[in-house]
């Protein structure tokens, strides 16, 4: 089914889609996709799909509206409901449920007030454990109504009353969850470190290490450090199951890890770290096409590898964390494939490259030029005979010329230093106009020429 | 005159003795001769020989440099005074030129005053007859003969650079200006050599203020020299040498925030020349003083912008930038360089195509490159062919162009860099290492000059005194960080009996 879609569209095509609006039919099934997650990320993901997908948009928004009404977050409700008013006004979810909003608003306010006063009470009575739990409740409440900064604050306040390592882990987990939603990756990494600091290797919860790995992976992914992201995801222990569902599903681990690895690792590394990684295999089994793509790459069947990835492009464009990086990652994989394809040859016709990598009727010449300029591909194009030739490497000549250059630079630098010292020795350097205070004995004697010096400027 | 001749020619002995004179004997002999010749009156020196020949025709300047120089000077001053005892100006000119390229480089060290006077006379004569370009070559060769290493800056260097710029005779001055200057006159601590006729002496030792071979130079004059020599090489389109000369000015040592305007002017030209050479904005040399660096970036902003656009921007932007700031270029007298820059843009583009292509058709080049002179693409393939032909002919592009065989012309880039052959390479390596080894000599010389500086000696004295006193009071915490090994020993000696 993957290859049935034919050759992948050229990467320039997808570039033109600004603002990310996916019109192709994605492979994912909305219901089962969203069932992988728990918590607020469900809403967030559905709204994102609603905003970005032409095919699934209405359904996603409808689901989101229903989901939102089960919760307490009015902002998210409006985010999901407002677009529906324009794109599908006839649906029953499109009507704004003002009474629900009013009711939720007042209960939210009451709940906030109640929890806050409770915390204050505990504090006054100096009951540490209760204060901590009160703050936790307050944080959860703020998180549920969508007031993330306040939620973050409340969870942070728990730290003062934390007594056991378990508490600290709890706090940091809450904070990571909120920070992921806020896209505050610095907070994510710092809390990951905090948990690592207190974690006991023996008796702690089996679910914690994978959670940390994926949190770290996400933050690396977000900052574009794909290799670091790949390594984090690949380290994820197999026991994650649904423990991190509020952030990420096991399927996502497979996809993120697989694609990042494909984009950054060499063939041997891929075999060793991905395909033969028993921990990661459990995840890969959830997304068999990623495994097939990597397999094709390792076996040098680049066209198949790229076409599999291409067929899932629209899915990944609808993924909340991956969507901004899909183009970059795909580009990396493509370039790498071209480089790998070219390695065994000294000379390849452009036509055969086109056949492998370009969409029908298109040519990859421009892309090759770009790659050569970025020094990714060490080759030269012959536009007359339409071939790509490799550059004969001449390490001896290169070394010799670099030696000569270094020697020349050294010689010049040394000469200039000697010149400077002698200029100083002859006392003809440029002095500052406002004279130095005369207290320094170093200059006292023998500098009779200085007085007449500063006139020539 | 005939009786004088024997006196004039008494040194050096002729024919030369089988065993060359020792430095000592040479020194004494030449000093004696200078005294004798110095006592002779001008009128005597102007006399002709009994055969009616002129003394300047009889004496060989390369053997008897000293009497020749004195007679030459007598003639010059006679001509100035207007009495007709001397020779015609045309003959005199011939003689002066001949002298500058023939004098004995050992004897000349003793008569710095005379040499300076003759060089000045040559420059002045050439200047007054509006033939300044004629003086450049002889003066340059005189400087080369005086100091073959060319590492010592003299006042004549500056005159030469000025003269070369004025007369636009760059080529004759280039060999002198291209030498790297290591020493400037005026260091107070140069050791007096025993005999200045010692041919192994470093130029610092015999070209001194005392020998009158140079005068004291102010910093402004030194900077001027660097700037002018840079401009001479710009005139010759020798970007690499120009860059080095200008860099001397750019990195000139300056205390704190003081900067000379000459340095800023040099920096502006340096940026442009750097772009012409490398195609990018070069980083400032490490040895630039920090105050100056700050100042440069403020004062030469438009130039830096040009360089950045050249590196990353498009032809049309480069042209627009060049057009908007014409008054700046004109005010700084850099319009010519800017025009060069615009012309060079497309050439760099074509050259960088070699990094991507091995063979490419001319129409493709036309479509992929733009001329910064017009801001648009070349009008037709013929224009591109012409440009590329020129580039190949001048060695700017290593490629071959094949004539059309049915289709458009094809440009084939040669494989990267023309690798040197092994023997060439070997030679090159040996030469380089020799040059670097010879630098150690200069380093030793510099080290000597520096460590014998009065101020430094005083400082060392004070240091050791400090160390002693602090040692005596038992507080060694404040002894200077420069305390060297000797001081440390002394320290311990004093501390010994205390504890």
Interface membership of A242 toward B (CB under 8 Å): no
Six-digit token string for A370: 């770009």
Judgement on whether residues A323 and A247 belong to the same structural domain of the protein: yes
Distances (CA, A) of B237 to B273, B352, B394: 9, 21, 12
Chain A residues with CB-CB distance to B458 below 8 A = 441-442, 444-445
Find the mean pLDDT for residues A157-166.
78
Taking 70 as the threshold, does the pLDDT of residue B208 lie above it? yes
Q: Do B432 and A407 touch (CB under 8 A)?
A: yes
Structural domain contains residue A218 = yes
Q: Please identify, among A343, A375, A409, the residue that sits at the C-terminal boundary of a domain.
A: A343
Q: Measure in Å the smallest separation between the Cα of B139 and chain A Cα atoms.
A: 24
Q: Please identify, among B158, B173, B205, the residue that sits at the C-terminal boundary of a domain.
A: B205
359-388 in chain A: CB under 8 A from chain B:
369, 372-373, 380-385
Q: Do B255 and A372 touch (CB under 8 A)?
A: no
Taking 80 as the threshold, does the pLDDT of residue A402 lie above it? yes
Judgement on whether residues A303 and A214 belong to the same structural domain of the protein: yes
Peptide bond into B12 cis (omega under 30): yes
Q: Name the residue among B182, B251, B432 with its Cβ closest to that of A422.
A: B182
Q: Residue A448: its pLDDT value, please?
A: 36
Find the mean pLDDT for residues B375-400.
84
Structural domain contains residue A86 = no
Residue, of A201 and A317, whose pLDDT is higher? A317
Q: Which residue of B has its CA nearest to A390?
A: B358
Judgement on whether residues A227 and A334 belong to the same structural domain of the protein: yes
Taking 80 as the threshold, does the pLDDT of residue A56 lie above it? no
Chain B residues with CB-CB distance to A413 below 8 A = 286-287
Distances (CA, A) of A446 to B49, B454, B463: 52, 7, 18
Structural domain contains residue A82 = no
Q: The domain containing residue A329 runs over which residues?
A: 205-343
Q: Measure in Å the smallest separation between the Cα of A82 and chain B Cα atoms.
A: 45
Structural domain contains residue A367 = yes
DSSP 8-class letter at A22 = B
Q: Do A384 and B410 touch (CB under 8 A)?
A: yes
Q: Measure in Å the smallest separation between the Cα of A445 and chain B Cα atoms.
A: 6
pLDDT digits (tens, 9 = 90+) for A335-377: 888 888 888 888 888 888 887 777 766 777 888 888 888 887 8
Judgement on whether residues A214 and A307 belong to the same structural domain of the protein: yes
Judgement on whether residues A284 and A377 belong to the same structural domain of the protein: no
Neighbours of A51 (CB within 10 A): 17
Q: For chain A, how many structural domains are there in total?
A: 3
Judgement on whether residues A306 and A251 belong to the same structural domain of the protein: yes
Structural domain contains residue B413 = no
Find the mean pLDDT for residues A324-336.
85
Q: Please identify, among B150, B185, B205, the residue that sits at the C-terminal boundary of a domain.
A: B205
Q: Using 50, 70 and 90 to split pLDDT, how confident is the model at A13?
A: very low
Of A197-201, A364-368, A451-455, B436-440, give the lowest mean pLDDT range.
Answer: A451-455
Q: Residue A457: its pLDDT value, please?
A: 39
Q: Please identify, among A343, A372, A406, the residue that sits at the C-terminal boundary of a domain.
A: A343
Q: What is the CA radius of gyration of chain B?
A: 30
Q: What is the ipTM of this complex?
A: 0.82
Judgement on whether residues A223 and A258 belong to the same structural domain of the protein: yes
Nearest of B9, B116, B135 to residue B64 by alpha carbon:
B9
Neighbours of B121 (CB within 10 A): 21
Distances (CA, A) of B213 to A251, B145, B146: 86, 13, 9
Of A45-59, A139-153, B435-449, give the lowest mean pLDDT range.
Answer: A45-59
Q: Please identify, among B179, B205, B231, the residue that sits at the C-terminal boundary of a domain.
A: B205
Structural domain contains residue A362 = yes
Q: The domain containing residue B484 runs over which residues?
A: 429-498
Q: Residue A240: its pLDDT value, please?
A: 67
- Read off the CATH number of the domain in which A243 is found: 1.25.40.570
Structural domain contains residue B390 = no
Judgement on whether residues A313 and A209 belong to the same structural domain of the protein: yes
Chain B residues with CB-CB distance to A391 below 8 A = 416
Structural domain contains residue A437 = yes
Structural domain contains residue A4 = no
Percent of chain B at pLDDT exceeding 70: 90
Nearest of A384, A453, A387, A326 to residue A20 by alpha carbon:
A326
Chain A residues with CB-CB distance to B295 below 8 A = none
Judgement on whether residues A336 and A210 belong to the same structural domain of the protein: yes
Structural domain contains residue B318 = no
Judgement on whether residues A355 and A437 belong to the same structural domain of the protein: no
Which segments within A277-321 are labelled E, that is strand?
none
Contact assessment for residue A123 and residue A130, using Cβ atoms and an 8 Å cutoff: no
Structural domain contains residue A257 = yes
Chain B residues with CB-CB distance to A389 below 8 A = 358
Q: Using 50, 70 and 90 to split pLDDT, how confident is the model at B229?
A: very high
pLDDT digits (tens, 9 = 90+) for B99-117: 888 888 888 888 888 888 8
Q: For chain B, how many structural domains are there in total?
A: 2
Nearest of B378, B377, B376 to residue B386 by alpha carbon:
B378
């Amino acid at each position: 089914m993957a290859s049935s879609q034919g050759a992948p569209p050229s990467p320039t095509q997808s570039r033109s889609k600004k603002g990310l609006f996916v019109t192709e039919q994605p492979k994912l099934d909305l219901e089962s996709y969203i069932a992988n997650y728990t918590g607020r990320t469900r809403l967030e993901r559905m709204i994102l799909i609603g905003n970005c997908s032409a095919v699934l948009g209405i359904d996603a928004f409808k689901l989101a509206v229903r989901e939102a009404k089960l919760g307490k977050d009015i902002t998210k409700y409006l985010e999901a409901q407002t677009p529906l008013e324009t794109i599908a006004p006839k649906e029953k979810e499109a009507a704004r449920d003002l009474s629900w909003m009013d009711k939720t608003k007042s209960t939210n306010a009451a709940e906030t007030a109640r929890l806050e006063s409770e915390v204050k009470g505990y504090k006054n009575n100096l009951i540490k454990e209760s204060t901590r739990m009160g703050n936790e409740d307050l944080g959860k409440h703020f998180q549920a109504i969508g007031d993330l900064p306040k939620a973050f604050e409340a969870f942070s306040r728990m730290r003062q009353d934390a007594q056991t390592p378990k508490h600290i882990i709890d706090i940091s987990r809450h904070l990571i969850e909120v920070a992921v939603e806020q896209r505050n990756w610095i907070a994510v990494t710092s809390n990951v470190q905090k948990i690592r600091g207190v974690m006991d290797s023996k008796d702690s919860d089996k679910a914690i290490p994978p959670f940390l790995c994926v949190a770290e992976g996400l933050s690396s992914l977000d900052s574009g450090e794909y290799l670091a992201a790949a390594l984090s995801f690949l380290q994820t222990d197999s026991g994650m199951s649904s423990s991190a569902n509020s952030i990420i599903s096991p399927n996502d681990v497979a996809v993120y890890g697989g694609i990042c690895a494909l984009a950054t690792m060499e063939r041997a590394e891929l075999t060793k770290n991905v395909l033969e990684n028993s921990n990661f295999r459990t995840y890969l089994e959830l997304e068999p096409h990623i495994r097939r793509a990597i397999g094709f790459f390792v076996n040098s069947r680049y066209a198949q590898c790229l076409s599999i990835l291409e067929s899932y492009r629209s899915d990944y464009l609808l993924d909340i964390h991956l969507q901004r990086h899909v183009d970059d990652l795909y580009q990396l994989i493509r370039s790498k494939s071209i480089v790998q394809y070219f390695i065994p040859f000294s000379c390849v016709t452009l036509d055969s490259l086109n056949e492998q990598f370009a969409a029908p009727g298109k040519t990859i010449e421009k892309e090759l030029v770009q790659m050569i300029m970025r020094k990714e591909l060490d080759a030269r194009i012959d536009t007359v005979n339409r071939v790509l030739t490799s550059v004969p490497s001449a390490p001896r000549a290169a070394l010799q010329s670099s030696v000569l250059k270094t020697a020349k630079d050294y010689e010049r630098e040394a000469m200039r230093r000697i010149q400077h010292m002698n200029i100083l020795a002859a006392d003809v350097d440029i002095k500052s106009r406002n004279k130095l205070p005369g207290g320094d004995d170093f200059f006292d004697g023998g500098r009779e020429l200085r007085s007449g010096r500063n006139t020539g400027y | 005159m005939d009786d004088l001749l024997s006196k004039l020619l008494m040194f050096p002995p002729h024919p030369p003795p089988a065993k060359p004179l020792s430095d000592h004997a040479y020194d004494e002999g030449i000093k004696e001769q200078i005294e004798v010749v110095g006592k002779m009156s001008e009128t005597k020196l102007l006399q002709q020989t009994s055969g009616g020949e002129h003394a300047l025709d009889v004496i060989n300047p390369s053997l008897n440099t000293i009497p020749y120089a004195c007679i030459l000077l007598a003639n010059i001053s006679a001509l100035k005074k207007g009495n007709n005892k001397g020779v015609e100006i045309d003959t005199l000119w011939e003689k002066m030129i001949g002298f500058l390229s023939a004098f004995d480089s050992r004897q000349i060290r003793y008569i710095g005053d005379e040499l300076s006077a003759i060089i000045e006379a040559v420059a002045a004569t050439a200047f007054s007859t509006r033939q300044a370009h004629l003086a450049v070559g002889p003066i340059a060769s005189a400087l080369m003969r005086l100091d073959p290493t060319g590492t010592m800056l003299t006042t004549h260097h500056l005159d030469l650079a000025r003269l070369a710029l004025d007369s636009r005779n760059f080529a004759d001055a280039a060999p002198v200006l291209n030498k790297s200057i290591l020493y400037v006159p005026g260091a107070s601590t140069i050791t007096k050599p025993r005999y200045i006729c010692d041919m192994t002496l470093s130029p610092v030792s015999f070209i001194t203020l005392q020998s009158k071979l140079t005068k004291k130079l102010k910093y402004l004059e030194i900077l001027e020299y660097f700037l002018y020599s840079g401009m001479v090489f710009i005139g010759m389109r020798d970007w690499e040498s120009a860059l080095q000369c200008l860099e001397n000015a750019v990195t000139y040592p300056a205390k704190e925030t003081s900067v000379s305007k000459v340095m800023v002017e040099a920096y502006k030209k340096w940026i442009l020349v750097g772009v012409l050479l490398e195609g990018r904005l070069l980083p400032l040399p490490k040895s630039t003083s920090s105050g100056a660096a700050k100042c440069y970036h403020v004062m030469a902003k438009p130039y830096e912008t040009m360089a950045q656009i050249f590196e990353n921007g498009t032809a049309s932007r480069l042209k627009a930038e060049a057009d908007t700031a014409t008054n700046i270029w004109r005010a700084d007298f850099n319009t010519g360089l800017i025009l060069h820059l615009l012309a060079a843009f497309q050439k760099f583009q074509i050259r960088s195509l070699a990094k991507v292509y091995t063979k490419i058709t001319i129409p493709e080049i036309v479509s992929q490159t733009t001329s910064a002179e017009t801001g648009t693409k070349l009008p037709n393939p013929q224009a591109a062919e012409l440009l590329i032909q020129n580039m190949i002919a001048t060695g700017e592009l290593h490629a071959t162009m094949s004539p059309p065989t049915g289709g458009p012309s094809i440009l084939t880039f040669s494989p990267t860099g023309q690798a040197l052959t092994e023997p060439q390479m070997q030679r090159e390596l040996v030469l380089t290492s020799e040059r670097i080894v010879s630098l150690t000599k200069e380093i030793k010389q510099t080290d000597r000059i520096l460590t014998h500086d009065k101020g430094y000696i005083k400082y060392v004295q004070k240091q050791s005194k400090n160390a002693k006193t602090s040692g005596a009071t038992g507080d060694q915490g404040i002894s200077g960080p420069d305390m060297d090994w000797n001081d440390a020993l002394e320290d311990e000696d004093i501390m010994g009996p205390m504890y």
